[in-house]
Amino acid sequence: MDISQYLDLKIAPRAIFDTLAERRTRPRFMLPTGDGDWRVVTWGGFAQQIRETAMFAAAAGLKSGERACVFAPNRVEWMSAALGIQAAGGVMVPVYASSTAEQAAYVVEHSDARLLFVDTAPLVARVLESWEQYAAVERIVLLDDALDVAKIAADLRERGKRVPAFSEVERKVLPWSRALSMGRARHEEDASGFERAMHGVSLDQPGMMLYTSGTSGNPKGVPLTHRNVSVNGLDWLKNNAPLIDEGAVDLLWLPMSHIFGFGETCLGNTLGFTSYMVDPRAVFEELPRVRPSVFMSVPSLWEKIATAAMAGTTTEARRAKIAEVTGGKLRFCLSGGAGLKREIKEFLYEHGLLIIEGYGLTETSPTLTINRPDAFRFDTVGKPLPSVELKLAEDGEILARGASVFSGYHKDPAATKEAFTPDGWFKTGDVGRFTDDGFLQIVDRKKDILVTAGGKNVPPANIEQRFADDPFIAQVVVYGDAQKYLVAGVWLNEAAVKAHLDASGVTGDAREASPARAEAIRALVQQRIEKVNGQLASYETIKKFAIMDRPLTVEGGMLTPTLKVRRKKVYESFKAELESLYT
């Protein structure tokens, strides 16, 4: 593909409007109707939503550089709101749809958001549950007109939840159609206002702010300028252009609230994709029906495709199975969010699918390195992008700088200072090495973050600390890097467990292995874990656990002198027990 027409850096909304004359009547999104058919959203219809959202934001008082949040699962209106915020000069702040009420409220409050766009009854309920933390939000737009806020509030009250008076809610909340109508009226009053606002946005002002998990404590806001993101996008396009066609078809399911899903949608906006939007639970079933030429996914789906193909007894049969389950038209395949196992990449490549994989972080917009169609090694994460400089610190930590690297965390100068070396290199927290031919390998992670097979970043310490005051549990160590779900090793406070069981009429030592006692202990631990799981997002929950007999001690190398868990040592020593929870 010739990318010469895409070399100019521009803010994301302009990708739609600069090509609108040519694409207006073509389909941009295809949405499932529920009866097996698809509903078309044209480029013209998409552009109108963006324009009216931008003009609504202006009418609602959003000023250049101010923030507005989007808290919703994927839908066209999600992207219309996001790009409308940016076109108006605002900073779009995505909130993961999987966030708990507490997590969502923290992001909205900490980001100083003026506007909030929200969808689905469960997410509206989470907003109402933490209403006091939304005091600075001036307008809340419901992305679905059918949402009944009065009923949602009444249901919460029936469940014993504390919610605000409906009159208070009503002053802030308005439906999507009303917001668009306000934007349309503003546009009719000032027909050139939208173009003036969009073209007045500087590449060097923040366009989005994502929240990234730290090793402990609350997430940190990462402001990215339009230049950060557009430089990275252009680098990415230069490397992958040979496998991508203009007007391609993609199956879009990655969360738009994650920079991976947002980036895929923006790539489609630039190159004129027709994107079939599907529920994440239906991806595998929809692949052969949609027959995309572009497919971006987290590792778990590539593993599922490979597993299906392995049923074939010959190379031809396995190739045919891959074509059957994917639709047979794939040209560009990208895996991200977490590492894909080398054997899966090699298997798929041997059977006709090259899976491109790279490495990056939210703070780097996001890609730092990538394997390329004409230069790849499956034991690496590729070579640095053209606009990126990488080097290794003395301890092997990967350091980065360049136009796509952010400049600092929102309202957190201490974390910003810690994130950079004195001479301005960003510290990734990952340990790497370069091969003789210039490819980067990730060999370790300095920071304690688990990345699930679904691409979710989970700081295990945030989960483990919720057990700190549990009288029956001495230690919990969460495990699950590159796995589909999280599990945990549990170490008991044996004296407290024994006292509890004695009082319950189940006598004996805490370590005694009688069936009745073992069952009672497991039931007790299960109860404690379920209590904590109720405070977590679904992807953070502990699905299985093992009660460990061998203790964690300083002398055994499992704890530091200050009694902190040496995570890597624990993982190594208890690997068999933890891995058995996945069988």
CATH code assigned at 348: 3.40.50.12780
Q: Could you tell me if 32 and 170 lie in one domain?
A: yes
Predicted pLDDT at 513: 60
pLDDT of the chain, 583 residues: tens digit per residue: 788 889 999 999 999 999 999 999 999 999 999 899 999 999 999 999 999 999 999 999 999 999 999 999 999 999 999 999 999 999 999 999 988 899 999 999 999 999 999 999 999 999 999 999 999 999 999 999 999 999 999 999 999 999 999 999 999 999 999 999 999 999 999 999 999 999 999 999 999 999 997 656 789 999 999 999 999 999 999 999 888 988 899 999 999 999 999 999 999 999 999 999 999 999 999 999 999 999 999 988 999 999 999 989 999 999 999 999 999 999 999 999 888 889 899 999 999 999 999 999 999 999 999 999 999 999 999 999 999 999 999 989 999 999 999 999 999 999 999 999 999 999 999 999 999 999 999 987 777 889 899 888 898 988 998 898 888 998 999 999 999 999 999 999 888 898 888 888 886 655 556 788 889 999 999 999 999 999 999 999 999 999 999 999 878 888 876 677 889 899 999 999 999 999 9
Residue 206: inside a domain, yes or no? no
Residue 224: inside a domain, yes or no? no
Rounded CA-CA distance 533/47 in Å is 41
Residue 545: inside a domain, yes or no? yes
Residue 220: inside a domain, yes or no? no
- List the CATH number of the domain containing 520: 3.30.300.30
Prior bond to 460 cis, omega within 30?
no
Q: Could you tell me if 434 and 507 lie in one domain?
A: no
Written in H, E and C, the secondary structure of 128-185 is: HHCHHHHCCCCEEEECCCCCCHHHHHHHHHHCCCCCCCHHHHHCCEEEHHHHHHHHHH
Classify each residue of 507-536 as buried b or exposed e, where b means 16 or more C-beta atoms within 10 Å of its C-beta.
eeebeeeeeebeebbeebbeebbeebbeeb
Burial of 141 (0-12, 13-18, 19+ CB in 10 A): buried
> Can you spell out the DSSP letters for 528-553?
HHHHHHTTS-GGGSEEEEEE--SPP-
Residue with tokens 């599907």: 278
Domain of residue 424, residue span: 232-448
Domain boundary among 395, 421, 448: 448
Predicted pLDDT at 175: 98
Rounded CA-CA distance 345/271 in Å is 27
Are the CB atoms for 397 and 429 separated by under 8 Å?
yes
Amino acid identity for residue 243 in this structure: L
Q: Could you tell me if 250 and 312 lie in one domain?
A: yes
Q: Could you tell me if 415 and 465 lie in one domain?
A: no
> Can you spell out the DSSP letters for 376-432?
--TTS--EE-TTEEEEE-TT-EEEEEETTS----TT-HHHHHHHB-TTS-EEEEEEE
Residue 213: inside a domain, yes or no? no
pTM > 0.85: yes
Rounded CA-CA distance 46/25 in Å is 10
Mean confidence (pLDDT) of the chain: 94
Residue 495: inside a domain, yes or no? yes
Q: Could you tell me if 279 and 195 lie in one domain?
A: no
Residues 6+ apart with CB under 8 A from 436: none
Structure-derived torsion over alpha carbons of residues 254, 250, 269, 176, reported in degrees to the nearest 10: -60
Q: Could you tell me if 20 and 153 lie in one domain?
A: yes
Q: Could you tell me if 120 and 151 lie in one domain?
A: yes
Q: Could you tell me if 36 and 88 lie in one domain?
A: yes
Predicted pLDDT at 314: 96
Q: Could you tell me if 46 and 115 lie in one domain?
A: yes
Measure Cα distances from 440 to 237, 424, 443 in Å.
Answer: 20, 21, 9
Selection from 347, 419, 365, 414 nearest residue 209 by Cα = 365
Please, what is the end-to-end C-alpha distance for the chain in angstroms?
Answer: 45
How many beta carbons lie within 10 A of that of residue 220, not counting itself?
A: 21
Predicted pLDDT at 545: 97
Measure Cα distances from 90 to 11, 16, 361, 500 in Å.
Answer: 12, 18, 23, 56
Q: Could you tell me if 135 and 259 lie in one domain?
A: no
Predicted pLDDT at 214: 62
- DSSP conformation class of 375: B
Domain boundary among 185, 201, 217: 201
Residue 463: inside a domain, yes or no? yes
Domain boundary among 420, 448, 476: 448
Residue with tokens 């040496």: 566
Rounded CA-CA distance 224/363 in Å is 8
Q: Could you tell me if 242 and 191 lie in one domain?
A: no
Measure Cα distances from 256 to 74, 357, 499 in Å.
Answer: 6, 19, 50
Q: How many domains does the chain have?
A: 3
Q: DSSP 3-state assignment of 283?
A: helix
The two tokens of residue 254 are: 């990655």
Residue 226: inside a domain, yes or no? no
Q: DSSP 3-state assignment of 473?
A: strand
Q: Could you tell me if 78 and 189 lie in one domain?
A: yes
Predicted pLDDT at 273: 97
Selection from 556, 555, 578, 558 nearest residue 570 by Cα = 558
